[in-house]
């Protein structure tokens, strides 16, 4: 940690805006995609495909994370992960992040550097890095992340390409984050594996580009819940997505926590968000890439989601203004 000037020692106000930026930029890797990194009016990032895939998420303290539950490193990893997941859900290779941090002047410098380390560590999982951003003062901590990626010559895999006859498949965990939130909400800190899953999702990064290579006809990042995100694909594609719950894996920690709370673990699996699994459709007969498990099929009809043949009602998931 750099020397902290007098006045708010150990707090970001002591470093000032430019001191804070100086304290974090050295923590970000310089990858071959970084043509001009932090420190100028803008960054320059390689876009070898001549197209760039871009997505943005905003995380607000008290809504998307709690500083008493999650470390700064956790928040950094989560903020990066949910954006990187959006990129791989298009079949893209993530290249770079831009990060805006709004924070109160008394935020500990350690928190800001911990956030930077979390962002850097999550980026490192996919070979990406942070190339720029902004730091401003705000009453609550706000983290804005934009992620950029490259399509490597492939067509983007959108939500609108699912066709009747396709296989519906998922890669990654479902319901773990929701179960972890339930655990934390009841005042517990364990099972740790669920709490960790809530604090830091583990998107199946490699499965996204692999699905694109394998010919996936549609793909979505499951951020709002399986049923809700399946609903988005059904609507965009104008098809019916049929889910067979018998094929959905209910992890043992979920089953255990559900038993302890008298909850139905399948509800977490079907409606829990923030695990950032990938839901994709593949042409009939296509070999599913590593990590994908078939959970149903696509059929013709009015856009909807069927769960074991029954129309899903109240698709659940998260609406930021209604919960």
Q: Which of residues 58-77 bind a second copy (CB under 8 A)?
A: 58-60, 63-64
Nearer to a second copy, 205 or 258 (CB): 205
CB 178 within 8 A of CB 271: yes
Residues 134-163 within binding reach of a second copy (CB under 8 A): 134-140, 142, 144, 146-149, 151, 156, 158-160
Measuring CA to CA, which residue among 319, 178, 196, 187 is closest to residue 258? 178
Q: Integer distance in angstroms from the first to the last C-alpha of the chain?
A: 39
Residues 198-237 within binding reach of a second copy (CB under 8 A): 219-221, 236
Q: Does 25 bind a second copy (CB under 8 A)?
A: no
Q: Select the span of 17-25, 246-254, 283-291, 301-309 touching a second copy (CB under 8 A).
A: 17-25
Question: Could you tell me the smallest distance in angstroms from the CB atom of residue 133 to a second copy?
Answer: 5
Token duo for residue 58:
């905003």
CB 233 within 8 A of CB 312: no
- Mark residue 276 as left, alpha or beta (left: phi above 0; alpha: psi -120 to 50; beta: remaining): left
Nearer to a second copy, 230 or 257 (CB): 230
Token duo for residue 55:
């997505």
**What are residue 102's DSSP bridge partners?**
136, 142
Is 264 a known ligand-binding residue?
no
Q: Select the span of 69-77, 92-100, 187-195, 254-262 touching a second copy (CB under 8 A).
A: 92-100
Question: To 5 degrees, how large is the angle CA 106–CA 107–CA 111?
Answer: 155
Q: Does 9 bind a second copy (CB under 8 A)?
A: no
Question: Pick from 31, 51, 125, 266: which binds a second copy (CB under 8 A)?
Answer: 51
Question: Could you tell me the smallest distance in angstroms from the CB atom of residue 258 to a second copy?
Answer: 28
């Amino acid at each position: 940690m750099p020397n902290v000037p007098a006045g708010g020692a150990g707090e970001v106000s002591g470093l000032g805006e430019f001191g804070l930026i100086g304290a974090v930029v050295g923590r970000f890797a310089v990858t071959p995609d970084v043509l001009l990194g932090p420190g100028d009016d803008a960054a320059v990032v390689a876009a070898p495909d001549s197209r760039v895939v871009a997505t943005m998420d905003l995380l607000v303290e008290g809504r998307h994370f709690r500083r008493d539950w999650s470390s700064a490193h956790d928040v950094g990893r989560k903020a990066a992960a949910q954006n990187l997941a959006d990129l791989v859900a298009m079949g893209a290779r993530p290249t770079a992040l831009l990060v805006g941090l709004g924070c109160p002047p008394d935020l500990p410098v350690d928190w800001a550097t911990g956030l930077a380390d979390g962002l850097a560590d999550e980026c490192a999982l996919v070979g990406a890095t942070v190339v720029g951003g902004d730091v401003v003062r705000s009453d609550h901590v706000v983290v804005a992340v934009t992620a950029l990626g490259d399509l490597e010559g492939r067509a983007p895999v959108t939500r609108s390409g699912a066709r009747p006859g396709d296989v519906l498949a998922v890669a990654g965990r479902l319901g773990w984050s929701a179960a972890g939130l339930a655990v934390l909400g009841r005042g517990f800190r364990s099972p740790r594996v669920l709490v960790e899953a809530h604090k830091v999702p583990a998107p199946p990064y490699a499965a996204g580009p692999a699905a694109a290579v394998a010919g996936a006809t549609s793909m979505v990042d499951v951020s709002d819940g399986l049923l809700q995100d399946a609903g988005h694909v059904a609507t965009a594609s104008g098809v019916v997505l049929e889910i067979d719950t018998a094929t959905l894996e209910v992890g043992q920690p979920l089953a255990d926590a559900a038993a302890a709370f008298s909850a139905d673990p399948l509800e977490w699996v079907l409606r829990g968000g923030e695990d950032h699994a990938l839901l994709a459709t593949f042409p009939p007969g296509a070999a599913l890439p590593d990590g994908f498990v078939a959970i149903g099929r696509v059929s013709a009809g009015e856009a909807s989601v069927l769960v074991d043949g029954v129309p899903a009602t109240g698709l659940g998931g998260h609406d930021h203004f209604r919960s």
